[in-house]
């Protein structure tokens, strides 16, 4: 992320845009530093755009992650319930066999 401070303007601008395209939340501190500390408006605009892209991508991923966590919890609960059901069925089978 040091390329955002490169002496070559094109390199810096490309690095800022590239960080936005990658969409990694790890890039947020570097992009915020550029946005807050840069004098040139072209740098500020690109950093703001990159930050917006990353945050939007995060917002879109969050509901999917929450759904996956809920699904995982349901699968675990289903497994536990199946074990309990199998145990109860075994007890019922033993009880009916002993009565015969």
Domain at 53, CATH number: 1.25.10.10
Taking the C-alpha atoms of residue 48 and residue 36, their distance in angstroms, rounded to an integer, is 10
CA atoms lying within 13 Å on the CB side of residue 2:
0
pTM: 0.57
User: How buried is residue 60: exposed, middle or buried, by Cβ count under 10 Å (0-12/13-18/19+)?
Assistant: exposed
Cβ atoms 20, 49 nearer than 8 A: yes
Taking the C-alpha atoms of residue 7 and residue 46, their distance in angstroms, rounded to an integer, is 17
* pLDDT over 70 at 1, yes or no: no
* Per-residue pLDDT reduced to its tens digit, 12-57: 889 999 999 888 889 999 899 988 887 788 889 999 999 999 998 8
Confidence class of residue 96 from pLDDT cuts 50, 70 and 90?
confident
Domain span holding position 36:
2-99
For position 43, what pLDDT does the model report? 87
Q: Specify the number of domains making up the chain.
A: 1
For position 39, what pLDDT does the model report? 77
């Amino acid at each position: 992320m040091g390329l955002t401070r490169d002496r070559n303007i094109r390199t810096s601008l490309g690095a800022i845009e590239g960080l936005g395209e990658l969409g990694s939340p790890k890039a947020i501190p570097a992009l915020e530093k550029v946005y807050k500390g840069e004098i040139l408006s072209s740098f500020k605009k690109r950093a703001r755009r990159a930050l917006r892209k990353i945050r939007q991508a995060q917002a879109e991923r969050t509901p999917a992650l929450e759904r996956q966590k809920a699904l995982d919890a349901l699968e675990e609960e289903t497994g536990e319930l199946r074990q309990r059901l199998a145990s109860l069925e075994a007890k019922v089978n033993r009880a009916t066999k002993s009565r015969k």
